[in-house]
Structure 1
Amino acid sequence: MYIRRISRKNKNGTVTSYVQLAHNERNPVTGNPQAKVYYTFGRGDEVDMDNLRRLAESISRFVGDAPKVTQESVQTSLLDSKQFGTGYVLQSLWQELGIDKVLSKRLAERKYEAPIERVLFAMVANRALNPSSKRAVEDWVKTEVALPGVELFEVHQGYRAMDFLIESDEEIQREVYETVADLLNLEVDLLFFDTTSSYFEMDDEPEEGSIKQRGYSKDHRPDLPQVVIGFAVTRDGIPVRCWVWPGNTSDMSVIPQVKQDLIGWRLGRVITVVDRGFNSETNLRELQKTGGHYIAGEKMSSGKQTVEDALARPGRFKTVRDNLEVKEVVVGDGEARTRYVLVRNLDEARRDERRREAHLKRLECELSRLKELDGDAHTKAHCALQSHQTYKRFLKSDKHGNLRIDKEAVKAAERLDGKYLIRTSDDTLSAEDVALGYKQLWQVEAAFRSLKQTIELRPMYHRKDDRIRAHVLLCWLSLLLVRVAENRTGRTWREIRQTMNAMHLITSKSGNNTVRQRTEVTPEQAEILKALGYKEPALIQKISTGKP
């Protein structure tokens, strides 16, 4: 590595020289040596050459050479070492997906003094790297991580950035989707939708009119207020839109808004895939508006006559994949015609059988124990079994009020081993495509797992409704970056993060000169960067020189 001067002739005939830090590398094609520029210090007439000479000596000492000791030699100090590699990956994705441009376009209409785009990136990166409170992000940026373009983070700037984000919520989501869809060639013929809930750690009752309300908790925390969060996800698990509703919102009521909000999103002909919680007749009709179609799970124990007819209809199953069989059933005629696909997973059928046998074995033991009890102990044990979430469907009472195993209920359960029923409005899809399309609904479930485990959406501590919505938007942006990285590399985010976090940015100081230099790229880090399509970050990130 060496310092060199290059010259450029201007149109007016004058010559301008520049000082650069360079290193010779052999051209892999021609075999000739060529200079690789690591850093440009600026114009030759503006650079303190004596300082550069001292800096060159200090760099030589830092990498282990033994430079000639002179009167001007000074000691090199290491100031800090911060995680750098994963932040570089997130920044590269942030720029490639055009999120910085979408935000900057919106910010151009405002006159913020704070670098709001960088502040938002810092909070999004924090959700992916080390989820913490907005106050904790301040120390995290200061002491632990080197994020490109983020020298510091102030809490009040973070809240201001969140307020801006929620003010432009729908516009930002739509513009980010359009940019990402064009760039990644997203397949949006199948759009998967589902909801989850996220709770709040609070002792007080939620305020009247707040979106923090008690409702059916998918986190198994009915004791805490919550919000309901909806996600629309592509077949590759890329989140394209999110919603936040009050915690007492039912799944059955949200489809009309979802459908309305996606109008004009350049989605083309979309088949929306929803779970059993959304298959009310109203919702399914809503999904068919403007030429749309649906694939929806059907509750096999719903008691609906069409479901009973579909389950009872004779016919052979057709194998479409290993351990996956389908049977198509059409119930009714004309406008009342309903198309079902009954799916049987042989592996799941065996698991259902083993689970049921284990339940029945334990139930028999409980019934035997019940016979030995009397008085209040018998009454309590009897009521506990009769209301048990798992056991109650296999029990019945005889004419004396004693509990017995219901053999008819056991046979009915056996009939459904490994099966699930799907309903669709699209006659052009094969039974196999319907089954596999519904099976991919796990992409939404995977997104929710990432949202809660990797991005750590919950618990939330925000008080204001808008801040809650902004927090969910930050998590959505973070999940978008994470899922793109996972799809490209074929690795989990945990693996990517662990590998890339080992790349550090080291700040050293020699006299009045400061150098920020990354650690060497390991083979595994190089493999991840190659899979993502990004170059290795520059070895020298920044050099600051000053007169003594």
Structure 2
Amino acid sequence: MFIDVVPNRGSPPAVLLRESYRDENGRTQKRTLANLSKLPGDVIEMLKALLNGGALIGTAPKDLAIERSLPHGHVAAVLGTIRKISLDRLILSTAKDAASRRFCDLVVAMMVDRLITPRSKLGFVRAVDEETAATSLGNLLRLGKVKDHEPYEALDWLLERQERIENGLARRHLKDGILVLYDVSSSYFEGHCCPLAQFGHSRDHRSDRLQIVYGLLCTRDGLPIAIEVFEGNAADPTTLKSQVDKLKARFGIKRVVLIGDRGMITSARIRDDLKTSSLDWITCLRAPQIQALAQGDGPLQLSLFDERDLAEISSPDFPGERLIMCRNRDLAMERARKREALLKATERELARVQANVRRKGSTLRSAAEIGLAVGEVVNAKKVAKHFALDIRDGHFSWSRKIEQIAAEAKLDGIYVIRTSVPKGELSAQNAVQAYKDLSRVERAFRSLKTVDLEIRPIRHWNANRVRAHVFLCMLAYHVEWHLRQRLAPLLFHDTELDRGRAARISPVASTEPSASARSKKAIKRNANGDPVHSFAGLIDHLGTMTRNIMRMPQAKKHPFTLLSKSTPLQDQAFKLLDLDPMRVQ
């Protein structure tokens, strides 16, 4: 028997099951046994193979074996993105020796692993080793047997190339006249041996731990370009000079606008670092400086806000600079509410102290003892300046400083943007929005520290290893930023945020989520009806796609790879990433 395909003029060909025989004259003839034209093509091909002497594999329980099944989808998404943005090529650069290639593969693997499941370096070794692999990562990069010391050697190798890699990122994403965001954060430290670890102002609220400080340079969109680690007791302004040198000397950018908060870009730093380097800046005035502008007939007059929420002024105290006054009425109401709540809470505690002083037989009698108790109360809520205290032996009373509170309340919701950029190059509205874009650096710190990458706690004791660890986390966030941009339709991200900002009447007003973002939050689906996720949740779901090593008993020396059937969400994600999970290597 055989299958014969017969042309049928303009119609599809007829697929017939036939057999050959000889007639009474000995001539060969064909007899049609069945018309197979309506069968699926793969079934027809299988029948052809069987009729040609092939065997049907997979009908018996032992005909097909799965040798190894490893989570693969999240690895393919992250590794494929690294390949697509050519970050691995930038890391390797011109190094061609086998050792550098090995170190580069390990660095890429650590970046991918940190985005998938942040863990210690020893945990990473176990996760990619061919015997104890937790994902397909080690297999895709052909890492083979990974020794315990190799990740640390790869970190040392990476740190030697940090400047060159950051220079490459700057060439790709920075240009003359660009606005650059800069901010500082800190992370607590485990151990006591690293010279970088010092006690300082803990942003993690872990004053019991040593810490390190690091400064992050980003594009205005929040894409990280460079990071630098400082000692844990370094003050924010002292980190600025090295960033100025980096932008001007290393990156070779002739004209750049640095955006930093008021605790970072101080008057001293402007005078000593920025002006001497011909660097422009955007920052904000501190509260005492705003109060000085509002005193008497100063340039900051509240009447300017009668019909608007933004006004530009000048002051002889800030020669050659633009001062952009802003008043957010919603923020003013919130600050007034919060102040009143803090004052009332403090008064309740002061009343308890007063009752204790008046109680017969109380041990709280001397002025010194009463002062200690009262100081603890008023300093707890940071409102000591708003109370007039009368403390004597056996006596305590207080009253609010009504005039001082009223003077402070007049400036509620008011902030002043300070910039050196000429008005012809940057409007007041764009200057305000540029300063508010610092929130994107804060989001980067949240991802680095808690949400996705877990840079802390830091367990290295060698200063260079600490620097390399922080730089590795920055590179991982660089990849995450690209992933978030591409996967935004499947995330809770507001994909119309920039369009909504452009449509606002004033940048001073709070940024409201777009209609699509509100809809995502309400029904947990996007406009196409696809479920939306957090970034970590989507990565976890992609990880349910497995990479299976298959083998047949008849072909033991020839295993093949088969991916598990993808879900609609996985198909949509890889479509957005423009990746084929089977072809990522």
**Alignment partner, residue 5 of structure 1:** none
1:399 CA drift (Å): 7.8
| Residues 1:254 and 1:434: Cα distance change in structure 2 (over 3 Å) | same
User: Is the 2:116–2:539 Cα contact (8 Å) retained in structure 1?
Assistant: yes
* Separation (CA, whole Å) in 1 of partners of 2:334 and 2:286: 20
1:411 is aligned, of 400, 406, 416, to: 406
**Alignment partner, residue 375 of structure 2:** 383
Taking the TM superposition and a 5 Å limit, the aligned residue runs for 1:324-343 are: 325-332=309-316, 336-343=319-326
User: Is the 2:546–2:564 Cα contact (8 Å) retained in structure 1?
Assistant: yes
Which runs of no fewer than 5 residues in structure 2 stay unpaired? 1-39, 43-52, 492-533
Aligned AA for 1:523?
A: P
1:448 CA drift (Å): 0.3
CA deviations on 1:309-343 (whole Å, 9 max, x unpaired) are 867434423988xxxx322221118x834421222
| Residues 1:188 and 1:339: Cα distance change in structure 2 (over 3 Å) | closer
* Separation (CA, whole Å) in 2 of partners of 1:177 and 1:504: 37
**Alignment partner, residue 35 of structure 2:** none
1:107 is aligned, of 60, 72, 95, to: 95
1:509 is aligned, of 531, 544, 551, to: 551
Corresponding residue SS for 2:544: coil
Please say which of residues 505-514 and 309-318 is displaced more in the overlay: 309-318
**Alignment partner, residue 545 of structure 1:** none
User: Is the 2:331–2:412 Cα contact (8 Å) retained in structure 1?
Assistant: yes
**Alignment partner, residue 160 of structure 1:** 153
Q: TM-score, normalised by structure 1?
A: 0.77
**Alignment partner, residue 281 of structure 2:** 294
CA deviations on 1:464-490 (whole Å, 9 max, x unpaired) are 011001101110110000011112222
**Alignment partner, residue 78 of structure 2:** 90
Corresponding residue SS for 1:237: coil
* Separation (CA, whole Å) in 1 of partners of 2:380 and 2:560: 66
* Separation (CA, whole Å) in 1 of partners of 2:422 and 2:185: 30
Aligned AA for 1:77?
A: A
**1:525 partnered with 2:570:** yes
CA deviations on 1:129-174 (whole Å, 9 max, x unpaired) are 1100000012222332112324444332111111101112211221
User: Is the 1:318–1:327 Cα contact (8 Å) retained in structure 2?
Assistant: no
User: Is the 2:80–2:579 Cα contact (8 Å) retained in structure 1?
Assistant: no
* Separation (CA, whole Å) in 2 of partners of 1:83 and 1:337: 59
**1:198 partnered with 2:180:** no
**1:134 partnered with 2:134:** no
| Residues 1:338 and 1:304: Cα distance change in structure 2 (over 3 Å) | farther
User: Is the 1:315–1:327 Cα contact (8 Å) retained in structure 2?
Assistant: no
| Residues 1:311 and 1:199: Cα distance change in structure 2 (over 3 Å) | farther
* Separation (CA, whole Å) in 2 of partners of 1:494 and 1:345: 34
Corresponding residue SS for 2:196: coil
**Alignment partner, residue 9 of structure 2:** none
Corresponding residue SS for 2:310: strand
Taking the TM superposition and a 5 Å limit, the aligned residue runs for 1:44-443 are: 58=57, 61=58, 66=59, 74-108=62-96, 110-112=97-99, 115-141=102-128, 142-147=132-137, 148-152=140-144, 153-179=146-172, 181=173, 189-202=178-191, 204=192, 206=193, 210-263=195-248, 264-265=250-251, 267=253, 269-285=255-271, 286-301=273-288, 305-306=292-293, 312-317=300-305, 325-332=309-316, 336-374=319-357, 375-377=362-364, 379=370, 380-398=372-390, 402-428=397-423, 429-443=426-440
CA deviations on 1:218-247 (whole Å, 9 max, x unpaired) are 112222221110001112110011111111
1:303 CA drift (Å): 7.8
User: Is the 2:67–2:548 Cα contact (8 Å) retained in structure 1?
Assistant: yes
Corresponding residue SS for 1:107: coil
Aligned AA for 2:106?
A: V
**Alignment partner, residue 460 of structure 2:** 462
User: Is the 2:92–2:101 Cα contact (8 Å) retained in structure 1?
Assistant: no
* Separation (CA, whole Å) in 2 of partners of 1:442 and 1:247: 23
* Separation (CA, whole Å) in 2 of partners of 1:146 and 1:430: 51
* Separation (CA, whole Å) in 2 of partners of 1:408 and 1:466: 54
* Separation (CA, whole Å) in 2 of partners of 1:74 and 1:524: 33
1:430 CA drift (Å): 1.8
Aligned AA for 1:271?
A: V
Taking the TM superposition and a 5 Å limit, the aligned residue runs for 1:18-37 are: none
1:296 CA drift (Å): 0.8
1:280 CA drift (Å): 2.3
Q: CA RMSD in A?
A: 3.1
Corresponding residue SS for 1:502: coil
Aligned AA for 2:268?
A: T
Aligned AA for 1:164?
A: W
1:256 CA drift (Å): 1.3
User: Is the 2:77–2:581 Cα contact (8 Å) retained in structure 1?
Assistant: no
| Residues 1:262 and 1:433: Cα distance change in structure 2 (over 3 Å) | same
User: Is the 2:484–2:535 Cα contact (8 Å) retained in structure 1?
Assistant: yes
**Alignment partner, residue 535 of structure 2:** 493
CA deviations on 1:401-453 (whole Å, 9 max, x unpaired) are 63322223322332232232221111222221111111111011000001001
User: Is the 2:453–2:473 Cα contact (8 Å) retained in structure 1?
Assistant: yes
* Separation (CA, whole Å) in 2 of partners of 1:169 and 1:162: 10
* Separation (CA, whole Å) in 1 of partners of 2:99 and 2:143: 17
Corresponding residue SS for 1:387: helix
User: Is the 1:195–1:228 Cα contact (8 Å) retained in structure 2?
Assistant: yes
Aligned AA for 2:311?
A: K
Please say which of residues 234-243 and 351-360 is displaced more in the overlay: 351-360
Identical residues among aligned pairs (%): 26
1:217 CA drift (Å): 1.6
* Separation (CA, whole Å) in 1 of partners of 2:345 and 2:299: 29
Corresponding residue SS for 1:509: strand
* Separation (CA, whole Å) in 2 of partners of 1:113 and 1:292: 38
User: Is the 2:176–2:255 Cα contact (8 Å) retained in structure 1?
Assistant: no
* Separation (CA, whole Å) in 2 of partners of 1:214 and 1:295: 30
* Separation (CA, whole Å) in 1 of partners of 2:100 and 2:161: 18
**1:536 partnered with 2:580:** yes
* Separation (CA, whole Å) in 1 of partners of 2:391 and 2:299: 31
Kindly name which structure, 1 or 2, has the bigger radius of gyration based on alpha carbons.
2
User: Is the 1:193–1:230 Cα contact (8 Å) retained in structure 2?
Assistant: yes
Number of equivalent positions: 466
* Separation (CA, whole Å) in 2 of partners of 1:500 and 1:311: 57
1:364 CA drift (Å): 2.6
Corresponding residue SS for 1:479: helix
* Separation (CA, whole Å) in 2 of partners of 1:188 and 1:247: 32
* Separation (CA, whole Å) in 2 of partners of 1:318 and 1:93: 51
Corresponding residue SS for 1:223: coil
1:177 CA drift (Å): 3.4
* Separation (CA, whole Å) in 2 of partners of 1:82 and 1:249: 45
